[in-house]
Chain A
Amino acid sequence: MNKWTRRAFIGAGTITGGGFLLGVAGFTFAPSRHSLVLADAEAKGQLTTWITIHPDNVVTILIPHCEMGQGTPTALAIMAAEELEADWTLVRVAEAPALDAYANGYIVRAAGGGYVPAVLGRGVDYGAFKLVEWFGFQVTGGSTAVRSTGEYGMRVAGAAAKQMLVEAAAAQWGVPAPECVAKASRVTHAASNRSSTFGALAQAAAGRAVPTSPALKSADSFTIRRTSPQRLDIPAKVDGSAMYAIDFSTPGMLYAAIEMAPVFGGTLVSVDPTPAEAMPGVKKVVQLTEAVAVVADSFWRARRALAALAPQFSDAGHGGVSTESIFAAFDAALGAPPAVPKDAAKVVTADYRAPFLAHATMEPMVCTAKVEGGRAEVWTGVQDPLNARSTAAKALGIDAASVTLTNLLLGGGFGRRLPFTFDYVDLGVRIAQAMSPVPVKTIWTRENDLQHDYYRGAALSRHAGALDASGRPLAAHSVYTGGGNGEAVFMPYAIADLEADEKDAKHPIRPGQWRSVLNSQHGFFKESFIDELAHAAGTDPFEFRRSLLVEQPRFKAALEKAAALSGWGTPLPAGEGRGIAICESFGTIVAEVAHVAVSPDGQLKVKHVYAAVDCGDVVHLDGATAQVEGGIIFALSAALLSEITIAQGRVVQTNFRDYPMIHIADAPHVTTAFLRSDAPLGGLGEPCVPPLAPALTSAIYAACGVRVRELPIRKTPLTRSV
């Protein structure tokens, strides 16, 4: 870890042509998600986040995170521009290169190296925890960019730059700095009627002493934050010019299609390359440990030739694994339902089941690489370019410094393109190595993508709860398989006896991080069970939850807001129902109400979803709203339809025909409200996912009396009447 450069807390410099560069150094991290300790950052930190002010008054903000649809670059630029008092129309963004200097471990850096705080209950949420674990990476994940890089990097950088510009102007004009005002990319001294652009002041500002703790704006003086400027990435996404990894090309480039061992852990035993080699456009059949690739002068020709091969793969001893065997092992690991107090008036038990899920990003995995003379160039789309660069280097047996990695736009991420899941980079560079020095673009088919994902884990959760004679819950216990953590199993309710225990049941299906991670299963489990307790108590599910949230004002306010938005309690036609659920994840509390209709023959229509979101405050209002809408639709598609199943050790599903997604016809209206609280900023990429499934199944129960305990919902007939 000696690579960390020691510099001042905030560093500044000039650029050719007379501009101004500014960066913010690192921060240390204390074992509480809300407690950032700046004291020794000066000694331990490094330059990370940069603002460049050009002589023509354009401000470029370098973003150490990727754009995968979540709008992070725009939101981070807003946070910097707000403090800088920049004219938003003069702000540009660029993604930081894959270099150590842009690692976002700065927020977790502490004395002596990578200090990892214990996850103490909910003391550290998942996103913050992953940031710690990902120390030294350049990751976009865990719904962390705005609340870490933005709050503790971008704002400080913007404020420091503003202060230096103001001081430069004051010195030039011989007036006191406090009389000068920065606004819309100009500094003005009203009394002497003088004004200058940031661009004109940039060079002088760069020579000023760098403030160590610049004053940040108070929320009531925000002019860009909380508004909805147009996202900076959108124009290129409506005219076909946006450049994703799959769109990259370089002269002389060939294309590769691959077939991987269908059983996880399997290897290539043998393949006769002859049938493919004889086909038009084919350059080479590349045999790798776990895959065979055909390289050709067009992807279609490569794929056609690959289909002519009959490779034999080993199954690594996993050929007998199936969805059934995995769930049988889960069931055995859980054993009997957990014990509940013997004096209970009523005991409720239930099992809930969640399937494996694939990410199915619209852009499949792609990696282009050129390997030559101990060096490599890689062009791909990842949620962590720095770690992907290391993956490429390791695969090639060279130093990371010998690899140049260019990160292009991501056609969806959802957790598929995170550290430790860069198999597509690993494979891509090895195929290019076999063709050295010719550059090769390896494109995964949808079939490759669905069958070789890192899956959202399947899980089984067994619950037991007890009510007293008045219907008050005494206890809610659960045991579960498939993974969990303090945040995912946390219930905010005033129930004296809450317990959730993990049981281990191993299987060879490789696990990944899927949008909202463990909250995606546990949100469904715990909120379904509280709903069942409400019904067992004979109490309205909203009122039941509300009565248990007296000590949790943020939860209570979000719950009440979602209920109010939905018209909770007003009569609905027969066959329609509302359901409610609330979850906190990534520092954000989200309550959702689903309004559904179930026809007499069991056809489900999700009519409307109402979301009340407390993420502390909103940076980019329209972008935040888009994340709520997107999170709900993403979760809905999974809740209604998605299931990856395993047979003979391999994934059964192949493409969107058997792993279907919802269409616009299935998409409900979405109404969003943000609650402003004094809580620190929470994430938004993921927290709207977990409450959707339990709100939906709660609504289905209200509409038709069927309690859905297994996802996807389509597996349960909805034909039983109340």
Chain B
Amino acid sequence: MAITTTVNGTPHSLDVEPEMPLLWVLREQLGLTGTKYGCGIAACGACTVHLDGRAVRSCTLPMSAAEGKQVTTIEGLAQQGTLHAVQQAWVAHQVPQCGYCQSGMIMAVAGLLAQTPAPTDDEIDTRLTNICRCGTFVRVRAAIHAAARAGATS
């Protein structure tokens, strides 16, 4: 039984087990490798994508849950060649080090800002639980506030 889902605006019909996590379908079936595997238990957030606009951890999300939904990955975050405000802030603040967690971090923050356009530090602390081993958190926080300001004026 094929599962239909729309990824970055393109509809796909995928012949995979309904319990196969979305992460591996994105990476292996669709070649969208910007979404990363980090833990497989939804603990680190490296696999964060948007499902109908909400940030979700794709490593534990079965394909059956993506049926008929809109999936956005890091590759689909920029619009018409213009980086999303969060991506722009990430460049301006030179956030990434190794960069491996940053696709998920950016998608989590974009999801956060979609719901809470100007989060306080407390809201950031509560809502953002992605792990970064290089220790970019100081810049992540500054870049979130910058992206929020940019979003407010655009």
| Residues in chain A within 8 A of chain B (CB atoms) | 68-71, 228, 230-231, 233-244, 246-247, 249, 255, 280, 298-301, 360-364, 409-414, 443, 445-446, 622-623, 626, 629-634, 636-637, 655-657, 661-665, 667, 669-670
Contact = CB atoms under 8 A, between A and B. Distances in A.
Contact of A362 (B20, B40, B133): B133
Contacts of A238: 83, 87, 90-91, 95-96, 102, 106
Contacts of A231: 94
B40, B137, B140: which has the most chain A beta carbons within 10 Å?
B137
Contact of B124 (A255, A298, A409, A664): A664
Given A240-B73, A665-B125, A630 B97 contact: yes
A626 B24 contact: no
Contacts of B118: none
B32, B91, B102, B135: which has the most chain A beta carbons within 10 Å?
B135
Given A633-B135, A663-B129, A242 B99 contact: yes
24 contacts: A69-B98, A234-B90, A234-B94, A237-B96, A237-B102, A238-B90, A239-B78, A240-B35, A240-B74, A298-B20, A360-B133, A362-B44, A362-B134, A363-B98, A410-B98, A412-B100, A630-B97, A630-B134, A630-B136, A632-B135, A634-B135, A655-B43, A665-B129, A667-B135
Nearest to A688: B135
A582 to B, nearest CB: 20
Contacts of B83: 238-239
B94 A446 contact: no
A301 B90 CA distance: 35
A234 B96 CA distance: 6
Interface in B32-76: 32-41, 43-44, 46, 73-75
B91 A235 contact: yes
Contacts of B98: 68-69, 361-363, 409-413
Contact of A663 (B27, B37, B130): B130
Contact of A622 (B94, B106, B125, B126): B94
A362 B128 contact: no
B102 A361 contact: no
A667 B134 CA distance: 12
Given A300-B21, A663-B128, A411 B99 contact: yes
B77 interface: yes
B126 A362 contact: no
A626 B94 CA distance: 9
Contacts of A664: 124-125, 128-130, 137, 140-141
A238, A243, A636, A663: which has the most chain B beta carbons within 10 Å?
A238
A249 B31 contact: yes
Interface residues of B, dominant DSSP: loop
Given A237-B102, A246-B36, A669 B138 contact: yes
Contacts of B97: 69-71, 626, 630
Nearest to B43: A656
Contacts of A411: 36, 98-101
Interface in B75-128: 75, 77-78, 83, 87, 90-91, 94-103, 106, 124-126, 128
Contacts of A626: 94, 97, 136, 139
B3 interface: no
A363 B102 contact: no
A630 B102 CA distance: 14
B98 to A, nearest CB: 3
Contacts of A623: 94
B33 A247 contact: yes
A520 to B, nearest CB: 15
Contact of B91 (A230, A300, A364): A230
Contact of A239 (B17, B29, B77, B126): B77
Classify chain B: how many residues form its interface, as a range. Answer: 35 or more
A686 B34 CA distance: 28
A661 B17 contact: no
A661 B87 contact: no
Shortest beta-carbon contacts, A-B, top 6: A240-B34, A633-B135, A69-B98, A411-B100, A237-B99, A69-B97
A626 B137 CA distance: 10
Interface of B: 17, 20-21, 24, 27-29, 31-41, 43-44, 46, 73-75, 77-78, 83, 87, 90-91, 94-103, 106, 124-126, 128-141
A300 B61 CA distance: 13
A241 B77 CA distance: 12
A300 B14 CA distance: 15
Given A630-B136, A664-B128, A240 B75 contact: yes
A669 B128 CA distance: 17
Given A239-B75, A362-B100, A622-B94, A655 B41 contact: yes
Contacts of A636: 135
B28 A299 contact: yes
A629 B91 contact: no
A242 B97 CA distance: 12
Contacts of A70: 97
A670 B141 CA distance: 12
Contacts of A241: 34, 75
B94 to A, nearest CB: 6
Nearest to A281: B17
Given A238-B87, A239-B78, A667 B137 contact: yes
Contacts of A670: 138
A409 B136 contact: no
A233 B96 CA distance: 9
A630 B91 CA distance: 17
B35 A661 contact: no
B24 to A, nearest CB: 4
Contacts of A239: 34, 74-75, 77-78, 83, 87
A241 B17 CA distance: 27
Nearest to A622: B94
B28 A656 contact: no
Contacts of B135: 629-634, 636-637, 667
B91 A234 contact: yes
Contacts of B27: 247
B38, B78, B91: which has the most chain A beta carbons within 10 Å?
B38
Nearest to A410: B98
Nearest to A249: B31
Nearest to A447: B40
Contacts of A71: 97
A301 B134 CA distance: 31
A230 B94 contact: yes
B38 A362 contact: yes
Nearest to B78: A239
Given A411-B99, A414-B133, A633-B137, A300 B20 contact: yes
Given A362-B101, A412-B100, A629 B139 contact: yes
Nearest to B100: A411
A361 B133 contact: yes
A423 B134 CA distance: 23
A259 to B, nearest CB: 15
A655 B39 contact: yes
A457 B135 CA distance: 22
Given A362-B36, A655-B43, A409 B99 contact: yes
Contacts of B141: 664, 667
A364 B37 CA distance: 8
